[in-house]
Amino acid sequence: MPDILINGKQASTLSVTDRGLHYGDGLFETVAIKHGRPCLLPQHLERLQYGCERLNMPMPDSETLTQEIQELCRGEGQWVVKIIISRGSGGRGYLPPENPEPNRILISYPWPDYPQDYWLKGVKIRLCTIPLAINPQLAGIKHLNRLEHVLARSEWQEPEIAEGLMLDMDGHLIEGTMSNLFLVKNNSLYTPDISRCGVAGVMRQWLIDEAEKQGIAVHITDLYVDDLKMADEVFLSNSLIGLWPVCQWGQQQYTPGSVTSALLKLLRKENVC
Amino acid sequence: MPDILINGKQASTLSVTDRGLHYGDGLFETVAIKHGRPCLLPQHLERLQYGCERLNMPMPDSETLTQEIQELCRGEGQWVVKIIISRGSGGRGYLPPENPEPNRILISYPWPDYPQDYWLKGVKIRLCTIPLAINPQLAGIKHLNRLEHVLARSEWQEPEIAEGLMLDMDGHLIEGTMSNLFLVKNNSLYTPDISRCGVAGVMRQWLIDEAEKQGIAVHITDLYVDDLKMADEVFLSNSLIGLWPVCQWGQQQYTPGSVTSALLKLLRKENVC
């Protein structure tokens, strides 16, 4: 079983002229694979399609991508498949080639071995100091320009801290380095507006949609550190973890409450990831 | 003569686990080579060193880099050598490896065939619509997160437009897609402050230093589109072109004046690029 496919072929290296390397000119998706089944795949492919439109890049054929994911992760067990779509090779200079030939890179990784307590008791978080720059033209999509997240994740080494939250240049809470953020206050759900920066997580959208179906009010809005202080419940989401309740931020303790528990239960019932 | 060296060896492909590809986690330099001599090499290496410090990455040995550049560009003729230093391979996730092994990629390209009139008469420019996001922690260094520049350069196809200027999210003029910007007003030189975004071009710094030596007042400051409208002279700089006078922006015409001419003359006299 190959663990890397590049444009459908088993390989481990890519041309150094690839624009993904030179400029971060491309997109990625991180897909959970359970029992050979890619989770939320239509949502991942939809976001990829949207990202390609935003970057004016051709979208690879969805069926081909789906087949290649299956080829990487046959059989039982849990895996992560990372899909990278770059604009392909190019000459020197920023101008994209007139007829780009995107490279399609799929890499399978072992399932991350997070402790069960992350779901049962919750995780400890911190605030990162590096801000997220604001650029509505790059917000939402999962592009390859991720130095801010790299530097944010470099800010702590303590293994007991599971995630760091990032604020934008204007002091709005936006997201974790690898997750989206939700707060609960008076049984309503609040999650940051990501129209100016941040990633539109597919699990974030799933949770928003399902919460609304359950009759939970959802507010997509500007959030600040003060809102984090005042929250009744806090949780994080991404495609691999589903959601993690937050139990501690600095001196502040949180107890996973009814909204977090209801959504966690739903995730399990629906077998989403 | 090889045209690509990866970690000192002739090669054309790189591991797909490279963090340069996954996150733009690295830096680059674009060096002019004339008659086998790399121009402003100490300045390029200094900026690379500074970038490595800012990203907390080991800096490759300068002598090794210098030797490899020479190996790529022996003999006469003009070349461009692009140096990419990535943080090297890593597993999944943003956290950098504890002991990163940076990849050192050198690619030689043919000299760009710009018309002589770009120096003699000047170039036509435009304003780009995509803004530069503001993040002081990434400003100045020549990192690999360049989607904004890619999208800016995608905004026009007209071959008669040589460069597009980019504004930051707050409406400050910052730079061209591949060059720094200078304005002249009343025989003083003005160039944008790049402490919040933009690239600290080595040619920009050379011009600032030399202008000051010539007794020209230099102001590194906030500049706006109105300043562009009011400027007596406008020029662009980078390591390959030295400087290009700007002759036209939309309906507005500029005539290269005494300051632009003096610096252009100096560049030639000093044989800088």
Q: In CATH, what class is A4-110?
A: alpha beta
Q: Which of B50, B29, B36 is nearest to B240 (CA)?
A: B29
- Specify whether domain A117-269 bears CATH 1.10.357.10: no
pLDDT at A57: 97
Q: Which of A114, A123, A6, A29 is nearest to A80 (CA)?
A: A29
pLDDT at A77: 86
Q: What band does B270 get if pLDDT is binned at 50, 70 and 90?
A: confident
Mean residue pLDDT of chain A comes to: 96
Q: Which of B176, B175, B212 is nearest to B196 (CA)?
A: B175
Domains of chain A by residue range: 4-110, 117-269
d(CA A73, CA A95): 36
Q: What percent of chain A has pLDDT over 70?
A: 99
Out of A246-250, A268-272, B10-14, least confident range: A268-272
pLDDT at B223: 98
Tally the residues of chain A. 273
Judge whether A172 is closer than 8 Å to chain B, CB to CB: no
Out of A141-145, B41-45, B73-77, least confident range: B73-77
**Over residues B219-234, mean pLDDT:** 98
CB pairs < 8 Å spanning A and B:
182
- Whether pTM > 0.90 for this model: the answer is yes
| Diameter of chain B measured on Cα atoms | 55
pLDDT at B254: 98
Please list the active-site residues of B.
Answer: 30, 142, 175
Judge whether A2 is closer than 8 Å to chain B, CB to CB: no
A133 contacts B135? CB cut-off 8 A:
yes
Q: What band does B272 get if pLDDT is binned at 50, 70 and 90?
A: confident
d(CA B185, CA B226): 12
Please list the active-site residues of A.
Answer: 30, 142, 175
Q: Residue A8, exposed/middle/buried by CB under 10 A (0-12, 13-18, 19+)? A: middle
Mean residue pLDDT of chain B comes to: 96
pLDDT at A189: 98
Q: What band does A2 get if pLDDT is binned at 50, 70 and 90?
A: low
Please name the residues between 216 and 255 in chain B that touch chain A, using a CB distance below 8 Å.
none
**Over residues A62-91, mean pLDDT:** 93
